[in-house]
Structure 1
Amino acid sequence: MNPWRPGRQSLRRRLLTTVMVPLLVLLLLNSLITYVGALIYANHVHDENLIDDTLALVQMMATQSQDGRISPQAQFLLEYEPEGRNYFSVFSVKEGLIGGNPSLHPPDGVFTASPEPRLYGIQIEKHALRAASVMMTNPRDANDQLEVTVAETLHDRHVEARQILLLSIPAQTLLIVAVFLLVWLGVRTGLRQLDPLTTQLANREHDLAPIGDQAVPVEILPLTRTIDGLFARLRGMLALHERFIADAAHQLRTPLAGLSVHAERAQASSDPATISDALKHIQRLIQRANRTSSQLLALTRAQTTEHDVGDSEPLNLATLIPELVGQRVHEALAANIDLGYDGQSGPLWIDGDRHRLQEMLDNLIDNGLRYAGSGALMTVELWRDGEDICLAVEDNGPGVPPAWLERLGERFFRVPGSDEEGSGLGLAIVQRIVEWHGARVRYFNASSDGGLRVEVIFPAMPHTERLI
């Protein structure tokens, strides 16, 4: 399989794209900043030259103009510009325009008490101009003032700014290319550090041991830890499968062997009574194998301790438990056992799974039906105790010797001396379901005369959570 086929996502390509796009944006932004900076610099230089030209015109008017007029040669030099046009004007307060462009008149408010030329922007003949104006005393009339103005178009300023930009772009582009190459080499070298991990995983066959954090780059630790979590879940699932196979082989060996023996008896005998007896044993062994296999599957499901989204929901035990108990009344009557319910009024909410709770209660009731004996009493109780909700199943049967109470809930454990057939899985299933719900279970004799009492204590669901 080609990992580089078109359409496949590439981490290297994504990293380079993630870096390249900002670099191109940075190049454009830097070019804009460079152009604006160059334009500011060009404006500063030209403004200085404009002020010098204005002062030069003032000096010429004061020293060389005997009649207050400007010679045609001086006017040509003032207005000459290869790519545009320069402007000047000299206005007398008394006489009006003395020379230059009549449209170039300083706006009101330009002049102040300062003798320095004033810079401002103006528009003439659809041309944007930059102008400098200054007031001087008329050399022919001391009582008259002259407004001297020199202006130029903005063409040269923009040309110089573009020239500076064009000079800087190649250097900036070269720098961006160099940075991109360095990033490409860095990404390529960095991704190569994944090769040992890839090789390590590729060389594994059935090894689900954790990868660990040694020699793993910090940036991919979340990935390796997620893989370790997956390995842990797989190990747990495989352990459940292996345990199920071992349990099935252990529990089904005896009924299968019995089936074989009684089948051979039926085949070898012509006596109808013997054949009938053998068939009865076969039927009983089949029922036992069926129950054992069902309990093994239930135990395997109950041993899954992790919660998935949607596995649990708010359950009101005050309505659920009586319903489940009612479903077993007919079986209790058939076994000549008085099955009853005693529950507290009012809602009793927990966060749980209905099917698992039914499986748990069925196994508790089955345990009583099987071992309490004919004529026994069995009561299912439900009440609230502070922040806990308690469920109890009690019978008045023979009970369990105190030495064996702690072992109740172990897989395949059966109280020694019991004559009833069983797989020893019922209370083990109860134990696992209780753990799945984050609850706890207690086993003890109901009284000194016997009788087993099993109590399951669930954490109550807060009222605010029930409203969500």
Structure 2
Amino acid sequence: MKTKARSLRRQLLIWLLVLLIPLLIIGGINSYSRAYHFSNLAYDRSLFRAALALADQVFVIRGKVLVDLPQKALDLLEYDKDDWIYYRVTDPQGEIVTGEPGLPLPPAPPPPGGHIYYDAMLGDKSVRVVAFSLPLQGTSAQGIALVQVAETKSKRDNLAGEIITAMMVPQLLIVLLAGALVHYGVRRGLVPLDRLQHAVEQRSDRDLSAVPYEDAPREVQPLLRAMNDLLQRLRESIARQQRFTADASHQLRTPLAGLQTQAEMALRETDPAKIRHALDWIRASTVRLSHLLSQLLALARVEPGSGWEAQLQTVDLVLLARETTAQWVTAAFAKHIDLGFQADAASISISGNPLMLHEMLSNLLDNAIRYTPSHGKITVAVALQAEKALLMVEDNGPGIPSDERDQIFERFHRLADSASEGCGLGLAIVREIAQAHLAEISVSEGPQGQGTRMTVSMPALSR
């Protein structure tokens, strides 16, 4: 199932709004809390003034607490177009002098001359109550009278709602304006990406040059650098393929033309000796051509990016080198060459691809057998030195001039005075395989300063 690509612009907007909405909610809760606090504060003061006015009407006659509250004052006290007003006066003995008997007492008595506010329930109504402690010292009634005035919370809730509305509407408008500005800012901020996209779309499929990233946003520059690295590797890969194709076509053209010429000559000849000579030449050319094709295929197989590098495993280099050397004994015996093997350890483990390592050593042996004269000597040696596994192929052949030792690993390079029928690809294959195994390959003189020693040094695994 194909996943739908997500828009960066949409993701930025969503995340910004996701962050703004909680801020709006937190701001709304804080605004409502502050608005309710200040509305409570204003109406509490008004409620306390009403309690003081009621306390002014309290007097004592012969030790009895009385309240002188005219009807007009009572109507004024009880009247409110939004809320229900309740009051009560209690003498020092806790007896109700006047007012609502169901009005709850305060949770704790206020100090003499002091007052407290508290919330309570009167029936099914939630009320706000102020309790004022009225000292009666100096009268015939000793003690403290409790004056309570309560009101429902309609005015408070309405005022808090008006305040929160007045505060939240501008905040909502600010959020909407911020969203619009963010949308515009995101669009403007992504303009360089749009220009970059347009520049890439206008490119030819043959244009693999680096994409300029100096003017791109800083966050995109690492991506562009990585893409330029990929383009560079792609250019190099295509160049290798083109060079390989050109070299292969050049190398194949000559032997194929020779085969065609010899076949035409054989068809025209009537002398059996000459026909046999042409057929012998064709057979020898076919063998050389088969070897060339085999080397070309091997070189294509070990090219970087072919995928074999991922198939690495633990390999016993001693065992692999011994078995590979044994397979070349027949070829060495045909040229009367003494092919030997020696190892400093019973087992040396490395990380590698067995097939490719076999191919590398086979090419080294093939190269040594081709250039070593009859009755010569070739030795394959494996050693462990300073956490490095060494694979060496020594021969006592003509050797390689020091000024050509760096060039012999180039494709189709052959020594100027070489009489061998090689195609010049064996050591190129060796170099590709060695590099893929993080190995170093060096060329030096053979034993007693004669011949050639090829040494491949690669990391050894801990025992």
By the TM > 0.5 criterion, same fold? yes
Residue 45 of structure 2 is aligned with which of 45, 48, 51?
48
Cα offsets for 1:209-261 (capped at 9, x unmatched):
11233322323212322321221122011101111112102221221121121
**8 Å Cα contact 2:104-2:120 kept in structure 1:** no
Q: How does 1:150-299 map to 2 (within 5 A)?
A: 150-205=149-204, 206-299=206-299
Tell me: CA distance 1:237–1:436, structure 2 relative to 1, closer, same or farther (3 Å).
Answer: same
| Aligned counterpart in structure 2 of residue 15 of structure 1, from 9, 12, 16 | 12
CA contact (8 A) 2:115 2:131 kept: yes
- Please say if residues 240 and 300 of structure 1, whose CA atoms lie closer than 8 Å, have aligned partners that are also in contact: no
Question: What whole-Å deviation, never above 9, does each CA across 1:322-352 have from its counterpart, x for those lacking one?
Answer: 3444444454455554444322336534343
Contact 1:360 1:433 in 2 (8 A): yes
CA contact (8 A) 2:65 2:97 kept: no
Structure 2 CA distance, aligned partners of 1:334 and 1:186? Answer: 81
Q: Is the 8 A contact 1:208 1:231 kept in 2?
A: yes
Q: Which runs of structure 2 are paired with 1:22-61 in the superposition (5 Å)?
A: 22-61=19-58
Contact kept? 1:133, 1:147, Cα under 8 Å: yes
Alignment correspondent of 1:3: none
Q: Tell me what 2:86 maps to.
A: 87
Describe how 1:261-410 pairs up with structure 2 within 5 A: 261-304=261-304, 310-333=310-333, 336-345=336-345, 348-410=348-410
Task: Tell me the equivalent position of 1:116.
Answer: 114
Cα distance 1:328–1:103, how it changes in 2: closer, same or farther (>3 A)? farther
Name the SS for the 2:255 alignment partner.
Answer: helix
CA distance in 2, matches of 1:77, 1:425: 115
Q: Percent identity?
A: 34
Give the length in aligned residue pairs. 457
* CA drift at 1:122: 2.6
Distance 1:325 1:148, change over 3 A: farther
Change (3 A) 1:308 1:417: closer
- Offset of 1:76 from its aligned partner? 4.5
Distance 1:24 1:425 in 2: 69
1:96 aligns with 2:95: yes
Q: Name the stretch that deviates more: 418-427 or 396-405.
A: 396-405
User: What's the offset of the Cα at 1:134?
Assistant: 2.2
Q: How far, CA to CA, are the matches of 2:191 and 2:212 in structure 1?
A: 19
Contact kept? 2:309, 2:436, Cα under 8 Å:
no
Is the CA contact (8 Å cut-off) linking 2:111 and 2:133 kept in structure 1?
Answer: no
Amino acid in the other structure paired with 1:153: T
User: Which one is further off, 134-143 or 362-371?
Assistant: 134-143
| Conservation of the 8 A alpha-carbon contact between 2:106 and 2:131 | no
Structure 1 residue aligned with 2:414: 414
Contact 1:381/1:393 (<8 A) preserved? yes
TM-score (norm 1): 0.86
Render the CA deviation track for 1:383-436: whole Å, top value 9, x for unaligned.
Answer: 221132211122333433445434332322222322220111111221222222
C-alpha distance in 1 between matches for 2:324 and 2:44? 96
Kindly provide the amino acid, as one letter, of the partner of residue 49 in structure 1.
Answer: S
Shift of 1:443: 1.0
**Which residue in the other structure is 1:133 paired with?**
131
| Offset at residue 38 of structure 1 (A) | 1.6
SS, match of residue 159 in structure 1: helix
Measure, in 1, the Cα distance between the counterparts of 2:140 and 2:320: 116
C-alpha distance in 1 between matches for 2:47 and 2:351: 85
Q: Gaps (5+ residues) in structure 1?
A: 1-6, 464-468
Q: Deviations over 1:287-326 (max 9, x none)?
A: 3223223323433454528999835444443444334444
Distance 1:104 1:419, change over 3 A: same
**Whole-angstrom distance in 2 between the partners of 1:95 and 1:427:** 115
In the alignment, is the contact (CA less than 8 A) between 1:89 and 1:102 conserved in 2? yes
CA apart distance, 1:179: 1.7
CA distance in 2, matches of 1:213, 1:331: 58
Counterpart of 1:439 in structure 2 is 439
Letter of the 1:135 counterpart? S
Q: In the alignment, what sits opposite 1:106? A: 105
Segment of structure 1 superposing worse, 249-258 or 269-278:
269-278
